[in-house]
Amino acid sequence: MDNLQQEGFTVVSTDESFFFLDSLVRRVWIKKDERPIVKVTGSHQQSVLFGSISLEGKQLFRQYDWFNANTFLDYLKHIHRKFPKCYLFLDKAKQQHYKSKIVLEYFDKHKKDLIPVYLPTASPEFMVLEEVWHISKNDLLVLQYYSSFTDFIDKISSYFRTKRFRLNMKNYLLEGVS
């Protein structure tokens, strides 16, 4: 890791997640023989969140309407501006970044300072962002009701602008390494 710093590189982990406009119910306290009432919208509206966290704890989040190669490329450019020289740890979402022609061209064009490191398929334990999604969905969705999609989007936006996740990425990247 010290060699990375001498070269001006950092390590960045990135991922995406979907936030659906509906309440999540985990566990609730209720009176015996009563049925809980939970307001749900029945909506399938969603917001896509892209997130990145560096080894030093810097973070970058952006909200999009869709998850596709174009939105990922736009987000990738934000990452590149914030972290000009980095090893970018990401999963193998095929159509969006692993096999996307426009994304692969961007990586190739910037191969000296933006180096993708694809994690093994089905390995969320290596992704610090998986914990971020768990925490944020618990905070934003569990037993929450939003009166409109706009209210929902605004709450997500505000949350990710102000929330600081103090997670140690090394614990995830070195999972199972002895």
Which CATH number belongs to the domain containing residue 108 in this structure?
Answer: 3.30.420.10
In a domain, 178, yes or no: no
Mean pLDDT in residue range 145-158: 92
Mean pLDDT in residue range 13-37: 78
Q: Which long-range contacts (CB under 8 A, 24 or more apart) does 152-158 make?
A: 152/19, 152/21, 152/45, 152/47, 153/47, 153/63, 156/19, 156/47, 156/49, 156/63, 157/63
**From residue 173, how far is each of 25, 66, 82, 166 by CA, in Å?**
31, 28, 21, 15
What residue type is assigned to position 111 of the chain?
K
Q: How confident is the model at residue 153 (pLDDT cuts 50, 70, 90)?
A: very high
In a domain, 166, yes or no: yes
In a domain, 39, yes or no: yes
Q: Flag whether the pTM goes above 0.75.
A: yes
Q: ∠ at Cα 54 (53, 60), nearest 5°?
A: 40
Q: Where in the sequence is the domain holding 66, given as residue range(s)?
A: 2-26+34-173
In a domain, 56, yes or no: yes
**Above 90 in pLDDT, residue 49?**
yes
In a domain, 10, yes or no: yes
Ranked by mean pLDDT, the top range of 63-72, 95-104, 168-177 is 63-72
Total structural domains within the chain: 1
